[in-house]
Amino acid sequence: MLYKSYPKVNLYLHIVGKTPDNYHLLRSRFVRVVGDLYDEIAITHTPNATKDRVLGNFPCEIEHSSVYLALQALRKVDGVCFPPVRIEVQKHIPSGAGLGGGSSNAGVVLAALIARYGAEFKGKAKQMHTYFASPKPPKSPLPTALSDLAKSIGADVAFFVSQVDCAEVSGIGEHIEPCDSRLNDIARFSIYTPKIACNTAQVYRHYATTSTPNPNTKDLSTLSNAAILASGDIASLNDLFLPACAIHKELESVAKELGEGWFFSGSGSSFFRIDSSASTPSPLESTFKPCEQKVDSSNAPEHCRATSVKSPIDRAKQAKRCERELAGFFRKPMPQGAL
């Protein structure tokens, strides 16, 4: 089976406290950006194999990748048993960009494997399959077993495994509250990623040395996506923007060159804006070299994730074309080794 693993953007991100073990607590609006930028994942069920195999052009050793960690974590859950699988990943979402590429990969893999094999899980593990049993996952909290599993892999994995398009996220990222569709009122985003990779842990550490969490920050959870972005600027909507700029001085120059209307996602380094046009933004004249991952992205409904198309016939043609393209891609040698 072939899957597309999409990025997210944070419309706002406020740090509101700390856990006893020193993790920062946040409130944020996550939006899954469904468009031209995505990682490609092929999962092959190999019942005659003796072990799992993971391949991909990861920015790290494969055994440290979120896909490998997700697969191993799922197998360790009591009551989980399924045949060996082969997972191939072609990454296009830049790392260190605040777009959640690794977490998205982990969420897609978990959702795919649980949906495929979860009916055979035993005990509490079977509760995870219930979430994916309907054609569209319910707008309800993740089962505890699934939430705990996602949290053990990474802070943003719960959002991606939930398969919702827009949600209020809190805690360290494990509490997901899907937003009413009326709040998800932005049709398109433009994403701009400079050639700067931000280390999330480093950005949070710098925040901890220069700022204090504010539990009384303005509640934005009832606002629509457009209203959130209209309510503040790049720094007031993202508590990690200034710490990221302090570490990577170039980010401040990037923000100035981009101008008003651009916002900062996660711990960076990506910027995004509302885009009502159907074309990509024109290249910026600047002293820095932009990353090639500068794209237009549509936040389309689940049933037409490939592109924003108008008719069932168009969707069917697009789906077949995507399958052919992905199938052709995955016949190519992967650029890194495998486990």
Kindly state the tokens that stand for 166. 């827009």
Is 270 assigned to a binding site? no
Is 94 assigned to a binding site? yes
Reply yes or no: is the peptide bond before residue 269 cis, omega within 30 of 0.
Answer: yes
Is 102 assigned to a binding site? yes
Is 104 assigned to a binding site? yes
Q: Which residues pair with 56 in a beta bridge?
A: 89
185 is catalytic: no
First to last CA, the chain: 19
Question: What is the spatial distance between Cα 22 and Cα 15, in angstroms, rounded to a whole number?
Answer: 12
Is 236 assigned to a binding site? no
Is 97 assigned to a binding site? yes
Is 107 assigned to a binding site? no
Is 152 assigned to a binding site? no
For helices 101-117 and 144-153, the axis angle rounded to 10 degrees is: 140
Is 99 assigned to a binding site? yes
CB atoms near residue 286 (< 10 Å): 14
For helices 101-117 and 66-75, the axis angle rounded to 10 degrees is: 30
- Which member of 8, 275, 294, 296 is catalytic? 8
Question: What is the spatial distance between Cα 179 and Cα 120, in angstroms, rounded to a whole number?
Answer: 31
Is 278 assigned to a binding site? no
- Which member of 18, 78, 126, 156 is catalytic? 156
User: Looking at this protein, which amino acid is placed at residue 11?
Assistant: L
294 is catalytic: no
| Residues of each annotated binding site for ATP | 94-104
Active site positions, annotated: 8, 156
| Residues of each annotated binding site | 94-104
